[in-house]
Copies of this chain bind each other. A is one copy, B any other.
Amino acid sequence: MAISFSDILDADARIRPLVRETPLLSSHDLDALVGAQVLVKADCLQPRGSFKMRGATNAILRRRGEAVARGIVAYSSGNHAQAVAYVARHIGAKATIVVPADTPMAKLDAARRDGAELVTYDRATESREAIARGIIDRTGAILVPPFDLADVIAGQGTCGLEMIRQARAQGAEPDAIVVCCSGGGLSAGVAVAAGELAPEAQIYLAEPEGFDDFARSIAAGTHVSNPAASGSVQDALLTQTPGQLTLPILAAAGAIGLVASDAEALAAVALAFTTLRIVVEPGGACALASLVRARDRFQGQTVLVTASGGNIDPQTFIRALSK
């Protein structure tokens, strides 16, 4: 396996105070709705609004000297880009983010304000990996991919470490852990943390309906892809196929797939507003939405749920609240 539990402990010591210990929230109303004790890990409260801060910080600080001397390269059009730019600014390193030319620039505003250089490419004719490689060959910059790197997975695993410890401090023992899943960095990190700290807890992967490549890949025993690369409001969760490092970890952990439709994700955004008073983006609400949809199988259990990101524009939030 790409990482061990001790890698997560190392990451946990490395990433403070750039990464917050986010609260584990709960609500009687939410418990009553689901029929379970629901504990929500509010990683939307990280700087730049997502758990991506954890993996980006760990990967960059592990190679801080190189990063400052030669720069950092990442490809992402969303939360990972924002996290990399934030960490780079903090340590005084140059960040270059490779983004599709058709990305709405509003999504990259924060990364630009943090001083990142944006390099655009044409999705149809160019490869982001090739462009990143070109920059690295020229500058010696370090590459921080969004999920398929041991240091990134170990960093995301600190989310699992925190939430299991926080649950115990509240006197709760998890029966299940539901994690928002795209490339699988967060899910794999959480699975490794849980394997050590709460081996009885069942890991569930939450994916957008129609974009359940991870569950299908586990079932098939090999990498399968989603038919489409876009078309869901859960835009943070549309990676087309599982990572090389993350799939074996989650297959070995016996992870079970859940799904949520876009309407269910938007309803979960509203539910988090009403019951927890946090701002969650649709992809970040996929785990909560999947739990609500599949609540029959969680009756009476204690369930940890990630609210993994909160980068949502006002229009989409209004849409969620107006339903």
Complex contact B317–A273 (CB within 8 A):
yes
- Contacting residues of chain A (16-60) with chain B, CB-CB under 8 angstroms: 17, 20, 22-23, 25-29, 42, 44-45, 47, 49
CA of A278 to CA of B318 in the docked complex: distance in angstroms? Answer: 15
Complex contact A114–B28 (CB within 8 A):
yes
Complex contact B277–A277 (CB within 8 A):
no
B-facing mask of A193-216, CB < 8 A → 1, else 0? 000000000000000000000000
Q: Verify if A62 is at the interface (C-beta below 8 Å from B).
A: no
* Closest-CB distance, A22 to chain B (whole angstroms): 7
Chain B residue with minimal CB distance to A279? Answer: B277
CA of A165 to CA of B27 in the docked complex: distance in angstroms? Answer: 26
Residues of chain A having any CB pair with chain B under 8 Å: 17, 20, 22-23, 25-29, 42, 44-45, 47, 49, 86, 110, 113-114, 169-171, 270, 273-274, 276-280, 310, 314, 317-318, 321-322
CA of A195 to CA of B170 in the docked complex: distance in angstroms? Answer: 32
Interface CB pairs A-B, < 8 A, 16: A17-B169, A17-B170, A22-B23, A23-B23, A28-B47, A28-B113, A29-B110, A49-B277, A270-B314, A273-B317, A277-B278, A277-B279, A278-B279, A279-B279, A318-B318, A318-B321
CA of A318 to CA of B273 in the docked complex: distance in angstroms? Answer: 12
Complex contact A321–B314 (CB within 8 A):
yes
Complex contact A47–B23 (CB within 8 A):
no
* Closest-CB distance, A239 to chain B (whole angstroms): 23
- Chain B residues within an 8 Å CB radius of A279: 273, 277-279
The 8 closest A-B pairs by CB, nearest first: A277-B310, A277-B279, A314-B321, A44-B277, A318-B318, A49-B277, A273-B279, A23-B23
CA of A172 to CA of B321 in the docked complex: distance in angstroms? Answer: 36
- Chain B residues within an 8 Å CB radius of A44: 277
- Chain B residues within an 8 Å CB radius of A47: 26-28
* Closest-CB distance, A256 to chain B (whole angstroms): 29
Chain B residue with minimal CB distance to A109? Answer: B29
CA of A280 to CA of B279 in the docked complex: distance in angstroms? Answer: 10
Chain B residue with minimal CB distance to A310? Answer: B277
- Chain B residues within an 8 Å CB radius of A28: 47, 86, 113-114
- Chain B residues within an 8 Å CB radius of A278: 45, 277-279
- Chain B residues within an 8 Å CB radius of A270: 314
Complex contact B45–A273 (CB within 8 A):
no
CA of A270 to CA of B314 in the docked complex: distance in angstroms? Answer: 9
Chain B residue with minimal CB distance to A309? Answer: B277
- Given A23-B22, A318-B318, A321-B317, A45 and B277 contact (CB-CB distance below 8 Å): yes
* Closest-CB distance, A100 to chain B (whole angstroms): 24
CA of A20 to CA of B170 in the docked complex: distance in angstroms? Answer: 10
* Closest-CB distance, A238 to chain B (whole angstroms): 21
* Closest-CB distance, A284 to chain B (whole angstroms): 10
CA of A110 to CA of B276 in the docked complex: distance in angstroms? Answer: 13
